[in-house]
Amino acid sequence: MTTANITPAKSEAPTVLASSLSRRFGDRIVLDQLDLSIAPGEFVALLGRSGSGKTTLLRHLAGLDPVESGSLSLPRTRAVVFQEPRLVPWKRVRRNVALGLRKADASPRAIAALNEVELGHKADAWPATLSGGEAQRVALARALVREPALLLLDEPFAALDALTRMRMHGLVVDLWRRHRPAVLLVTHDVDEAIFLADRVLVLVDGKIATDEIIDLPRPHAYEQPGFIAARRRLLQALGVVVPPAHIVEAPRALAKAAAR
């Protein structure tokens, strides 16, 4: 087995570049000679059934798991937003956002980040007083305050109600346009992937089986003919055969459940 270290990506290179990336647990191959490139400022979504290797790939991109085989080039600055906000309950919101920052201007930068997610007025609140959507916005501010070149989103909207999720979608796109990190969103929701991403990948048995360019004007919307066609192709890539009428009607629950 060839062992490769994680190396910083050069500024002129893709933000993420994986070549023949492999990982196994015992006899089970989780990542199988996977190749992946994410350009600076590109918004990519990753779909796949449970057990397809999504979490393992994200952990590699976050630098949490070692590279066993293959090569992986990553930027020095990375940040992750998880499904749960993971706020420290005994620190006020401002201190949660500034957590780990070693700069003299950590507090002003935390306030600025909170203002960007429309929570400047909650800077001195305790995490327990926040709604689910507010807590996730704090987690997003905590990631962005580090000015990452790569932002990893691990199903960050899965626990939110539908209206809050829609608002978060708009907020994430606005913040991405403003800061321009490369983004990898892991999701089970086909429609969410199309709404947000420039490109949607489908992971099957540890390999990228589908690489779908979302060639739609922003904001992406159900009404766009290309949206319907992209949904059909992605559902098929996930092994789901859906009657044409259901594809057009596009119930969110159907597209979300199909990826599980």
Q: pTM of the prediction?
A: 0.87
Count: domains in the chain: 1
Does the pLDDT of residue 254 top 60, yes or no?
Answer: no
Quote the domain boundaries for residue 56.
6-77+148-258
Query: Radius of gyration of the chain from Cα atoms?
Result: 19
Mean pLDDT, the chain, integer: 88
The enclosing domain of 65 has a CATH number of: 3.40.50.300
**Under 8 Å between Cβ of 9 and 74:** yes
**Under 8 Å between Cβ of 198 and 32:** no
In a domain, 13, yes or no: yes
Q: What is the DSSP string of the chain?
A: -----EEEPPTTS-SEEEEEEEEEETTEEEEEEEEEEE-TT-EEEEE--TTSSHHHHHHHHTT-S---EEEEEE-S-EEEE-SS----TTS-HHHHHTTT--STTHHHHHHHHHHHTT-GGGTTS-GGGS-HHHHHHHHHHHHHTT--SEEEEESTTTTS-HHHHHHHHHHHHHHHHHH--EEEEE-S-HHHHHHH-SEEEEEETTEEEEEEE---PSSP-TTSHHHHHHHHHHHHHTT----HHHHHH--HHHHHHHT-
In a domain, 188, yes or no: yes
In a domain, 90, yes or no: no
- Comparing 11 with 29, the larger pLDDT belongs to 29
In a domain, 101, yes or no: no
In a domain, 122, yes or no: no
**Under 8 Å between Cβ of 213 and 233:** no
In a domain, 164, yes or no: yes
Torsions phi, psi for 202 (to 5 deg): -115, 125
CA angle 119, 124, 83 (to 5 degrees): 55
In a domain, 102, yes or no: no
In a domain, 241, yes or no: yes
Q: What is the pLDDT of residues 178-229, one digit of tens each?
A: 999 999 999 999 999 999 999 999 999 899 999 999 999 998 988 888 999 9
Does the pLDDT of residue 153 top 90, yes or no?
Answer: yes
Token code pair at residue 167: 């608002």
Q: What is the pLDDT of residues 82-105, one digit of tens each?
A: 989 999 999 999 999 999 887 778
